[in-house]
Amino acid sequence: MSQSNTRGRAVLAYRESPVKTRELTRDPVYSKGWLDQFAEYLKSIGVTPVERLLSQRQEHKKYNIGPGTVSEIREKSTEAGAETVVLGNILHPGQYTDLSEELSELSVIDYKDAIYEGFKATSNPIAQYTAQRRELRRKRCAIKHSEVVGISKQDKSEKVIEDIDARLQSVNEAIKKEQKQRRDRIKETLSVPQPSIAVASTIGLIEKCKASQGQKTSKIGQHGEGTVSTETVNDHEVYIIRTAPIIPEMPEWYQETVPRSAYAWDQADIVLLVRSIESVLDTGTVKEMIGGSLLEVEYSDLPATGRQQQPVVTHLQEQIFENIPTTTAQITLPINDDAMSFVSTVYGKISVNSIEYGDQIKIEINGMRSQIEQLKEEINDIEEGKIEDEQEN
């Protein structure tokens, strides 16, 4: 396989999103400013982008990127003397296995790999467990693939897969335990008369904000005062309520993106990301790594009287109470091209507990009710595809 410890010089390959819509937000929507910052972040994990490759080709079910782009990556890497390709896309285990085999001379890293790498050294247990789970799933997929093509013997690989499955179950249980503890902490926080919440608008922040341009324009309300103040970063207002911290880790590269607001987010009981379809930040990845202390609402759902203390606090409490419970659900899909494309969508939008391939594709997912309802709408386009809720945690 092409995953290795030698990374060094890299080609950064990304696909331009043709239209910014809710259906096209599985992968980050790129801008030059975002790519510059992401390239700087990659250097911090030992990867130095020496070439950038923009593809306008459609997503391909086998590699996520098209075969033509694979050839371009190989050519660019040879010219630049690169050992690694960093994809701005998110690969599910099957796509990672196929692409790693096709580009066996390179170390393959996708967008989430890069972010997870930055969390491996942190004390955030959810981050560490999630990274472990991702690696185990890929290893399992690679072994199954080698069985199919006759590289490994079935009796030997079955024992290895059994061991991986046992480790995956242990990791999943550990993640659920950590997530429950964080949800319990949020519920406890919300039980006080005036819970404190930091609200971070992600509308174009990565694209529009640079470290030198951040400007604090108002004081942050002190804990217990019950006031909402704002900070302006360029032309973006961030509503803040200051309190004591419960979030131990925020991604360093993310803090630096909006330097003035990061301190307030770090001091908050709960960080609520306000999404919009114009956002160039992959909030799903950040949310997954932070765990239950990070929640999301739609920008359009916020009240017009957002600067008034009581409406904002009341509205956000309602949003948080609505989104705290997570639900386990089972996705069943047929074996066809549309279903394989939907698998990629699932991996980009929600936490995947397990996936099985047989006569059908079966995926166990865990996430907020709103996330699952959105997937239910999208699965309607797939004949014989269905999602069944199992339990609420």
pLDDT score at 312: 44
Compute the half-sphere exposure of residue 244: CA atoms within 13 Å on the CB side of its CA. Answer: 5
Of the two residues 289 and 346, the one the predictor is more confident about is 346
Q: Quickly list H helices, 23-92.
A: 32-44, 67-80
**Position 391 confidence tier, pLDDT thresholds 50, 70, 90:** low
Cα angle: 325, vertex 331, 337; to 5 degrees: 140
Does residue 108 register a pLDDT over 70?
yes
pLDDT score of 106 more than 90: yes
Across 323-337, average pLDDT: 80
Q: Give the number of other Cβ atoms within 10 Å of residue 5's Cβ.
A: 6
Q: What CA–CA distance (Å, rounded) separates 232 from 238?
A: 6
Q: Quick one: average pLDDT of 301-316?
A: 42
The reported pTM is 0.56
Q: Assess whether pLDDT exceeds 70 at residue 122.
A: no
pLDDT category at 16 given cuts 50, 70, 90 is low
Tokens of 203: 């509308």
State pLDDT tens for residues 344-355: 888 877 778 888
CA 169/CA 37 separation, integer angstroms: 36
Q: Using pLDDT thresholds of 50, 70 and 90, give the confidence band for residue 303.
A: very low
Whole-number pLDDT of residue 199 = 47
Instruction: Decide if pLDDT at 294 tops 80.
Output: no
pLDDT over 90, % of the chain? 14
Residue 257 and residue 37 in contact, taking contact as beta carbons nearer than 8 Å:
yes
Of 72-76, 190-194, 274-278, the one with minimum mean pLDDT is 274-278
